Structure 1
């Protein structure tokens, strides 16, 4: 897998069946990411699982690539994964921007709210 195009501190995402997995490229073919069992370092290949990876741009990031890498390493070994409030996307966004946000969670909440409204309208 071609990973030389990614710079240190780059926010990566790789597709999965029902979601996207996020991590931070730390150089030398390695990605730090939040898995179910905690923040860990894996090869780009293991992180991507054969799926296409793409960069998530953070044009307004206050941090350099090296600072993002250091922020990611500051949480290495953390094991407080929570799908709704502390997942891989929260982690990667926090590393890059200081804000722990997840568009995937926000979209799921919007969809659930819309579905609930439709159900209530039918009552």
Structure 2
């Protein structure tokens, strides 16, 4: 079965909750409670200075969600986001582009992804991560579920597009459709 294209999608963020209103013929409203500490389960993050090739993130709206990118050196980040405006309200305008670390953080606290021994086996070299990030500049194919900023960053690092944030949402929604 094909996934239907959404005709309208709006997201209103509240502390510890996301209100998603989606119209597919009729309006359905779903509230997903997301505890701040469970936004990215089973992942290790540290507050430290990044080096080129690091997968970085910054928490938004008090930790309701995180924005991800690849630190490419010289205080620059390549990420999937709108060129201006809100990552949430303007996500349909998202494009992979380079920005300053300051602009990426927007006053938030930088965190660097740390990898387990097992994860290090599939992690690409820093040089390849940076090259892959730069190769994607200009790509505009944003999808919250299939191609968001975290998918982009994890693909650059491991070759596999994954989003733990999406998995948390999918897991939270499962009981609604059981």
- Give the structure-2-normalised TM-score: 0.61
How far, CA to CA, are the matches of 2:123 and 2:145 in structure 1? 25
How far, CA to CA, are the matches of 2:76 and 2:54 in structure 1? 11
Secondary structure of 1:56's counterpart equals strand
How far, CA to CA, are the matches of 1:38 and 1:100 in structure 2? 16
Kindly indicate which of the two structures has a greater share of residues assigned to helix.
1
Task: Select the structure with the greater relative contact order (CA < 8 A; seq sep ≥ 6).
Answer: 1
Secondary structure of 2:114's counterpart equals coil
Tell me which residue corresponds to 2:170.
Answer: 109
Secondary structure of 2:108's counterpart equals coil
Matches within 5 A, 1:79-90: 79-90=140-151
Match of 2:154 among 90, 93, 97: 93
Shift in Å at residue 99 of structure 1?
0.4
Any unmatched runs of 5+ in structure 1?
none
Match of 1:19 among 56, 65, 80: 65
Runs of 4+ that moved beyond 3 A: none
Kindly indicate which of the two structures has a greater share of residues assigned to strand.
2
How far, CA to CA, are the matches of 1:76 and 1:96 in structure 2? 16
Number of aligned residues: 114
Any unmatched runs of 5+ in structure 2?
1-47, 82-90
